[in-house]
Amino acid sequence: MNVDLRHLRCFLAVAEEGGFTAAGRRLHLAQPTLTRTIKSLEESLGVQLFERNTRRTELTDKGEKLWQNLGPLLGQLDRTLRDLREGEKLRVGFSWGLPEGLSRLAARFAEETGVGVEFLRCDIPQAGLDTGQVHLGLLRGSQLPKNLRSFFLYEEPRIAAVPASWELAGRTELDWAELAGLPLIINTVSGTTFPDMWPAGRRPVVGAECRNYDEWLEQVAAGLGVGTAPISTARRYTHPSVHLVPLTGAPAVRTHLAYPSHGAHPQAAHFVDHAWRAADELQT
C-alpha cells in the first residue's frame, strides 16, 4: 500500500477536529490539499474513511476503527523519535566575539527540537569546520571557503584599537585612510583586517602577527601597532592599555554561519534558519 505518515497524520487531524476546515488550520494546509491527501489514503486502503455532506464530516465504521488504533501508534512513534534526540548536541565553533544573543537562540532551539547546542572556541581558520570539531562555524569576512554553505546574518561597523600610550588614543575618531600610515596588528588565522584592504601604494605595514584575538589585543597593548575589530566584539573584550577610538570610512564586518556543503549535521540547516530569522537580536 502506498501509505505514508503524511497520509496518517492528515487522517488523524480530520478525525480529531471533526472536519477538513479545522484540520487544515491545525496542519497549516489548504483544504483542497488536505482533501486530496485523504482521498489518496482511501484509494490506497480501498475503503471509505469519511462520510461527507454539505454540513458535516463523519467517520465510517472503517474510519472509526483506524482512528482508534492509529492514535496510540502515532503517539508511540512520536515518543520514540523524540527519545532518539535525547543527548544529541549541535556543536558551533567560533574564534572570538560570540554574538550575545546566540546563547538565547540556542536555548530556544534546544527547547523546540530537543537538540542541545554547544559553543566551542577554535582558533583555527574555519573555527573547527575544517577539522570536523564542530558542525557549524561562526565566520567573519567577505571571502569564505568554497567548500562551505554560508549564510549571511548581519554586518557591523569597525572600531580602532589603539595603544593607550600613543597620542592617537586621545582622538575622538580616526579615519580608515589614516590607518594606512600606521603599523597594523594582523590576526593571520581569524582576523578581518589586512593591508590589502587599502589601495595599492597606500597600505599599512605589518607591525606584528598573531593567531588569535587575545594575542592581538596584547600586541596592541604592547604598542606594536593598531588594529580594528567589529565594534560589539571590541567593546566586550577590553584591555586597560588599549583605547577604542570610533572609526570612520571603514568597511563593515560581515558575519555568517556556515556548515559543510556535504555531510552536514541534519540539524545544521534548521539552526541556521533559526539564526537567520533572529539575526536582529543576536547582538543585543
pLDDT confidence tier of residue 75, bands split at 50, 70 and 90: confident
| All residues at 6 or more sequence positions from 197 whose CB lies less than 8 Å from its CB, including other chains | 251
On average, the pLDDT of the chain sits at 92
**Where does the pLDDT of residue 162 fall: very low under 50, low under 70, confident under 90, or very high at 90 and above?**
very high
The pLDDT score that the predictor gives to residue 108 is: 93
Please state the CATH superfamily assignment of the domain spanning residues 158-251 in this structure: Periplasmic binding protein-like II (3.40.190.10)
Over residues 87-97, the mean pLDDT reads: 91
For 211-234, what is the mean pLDDT? 95
pTM of the predicted structure, to 2 decimals: 0.73
Q: What is the DSSP string of the chain?
A: ----HHHHHHHHHHHHHTSHHHHHHHHT--HHHHHHHHHHHHHHHTS--EEE-SS-EEE-HHHHHHHHHHHHHHHHHHHHHHHHTTT-EEEEEESS---TTHHHHHHHHHHHHS-EEEEEE--STTTTTTTTS-SEEEEESS---TTEEEEEEEEE-EEEEEETTSGGGG-S-EEGGGGGGS-EEEETTT-S--GGGSPTTS---EEEEESSHHHHHHHHHTTS-BEEEEHHHHHHS--TTEEEEEEESPPPEEEEEEEESSS--TTHHHHHHHHHHTGGGTT-
The structural domains of the chain, with segments of one domain joined by +, span: 5-84, 89-154+254-281, 158-251
Determine the pLDDT at residue 284. Answer: 57
What is the percentage of the chain residues whose pLDDT exceeds 70? 99
Same fold, 89-154+254-281 and 158-251: yes
The yes/no answer on whether domain 89-154+254-281 falls in CATH 1.10.3720.10 is no
The arithmetic mean of pLDDT across residues 45-65, rounded, is: 89
Going by pLDDT thresholds of 50, 70 and 90, the confidence category of residue 52 is confident
CA distances from 10 to 3, 70, 81, 227 (A): 12, 12, 19, 59
What average pLDDT does this structure show over 22-41?
A: 92
pLDDT top residue among 119 and 86: 119
Q: What is the pLDDT of residues 258-279, one digit of tens each?
A: 999 999 999 999 999 999 988 8
* pLDDT at residue 182 is higher than 90: yes
Residue 67: predicted pLDDT: 92
Cell of 203: 597600505
Q: Which CATH number applies to 5-84: 3.40.50.11900, 1.10.3720.10, 1.10.10.10, 1.10.357.10?
A: 1.10.10.10
Contact present, 53 and 20 (Cβ < 8 Å)? no
pLDDT confidence of residue 216: 96
Query: CB-based contacts of 10: which residues, under 8 Å, 6+ apart?
Result: 23, 27, 29, 34, 37, 38, 41
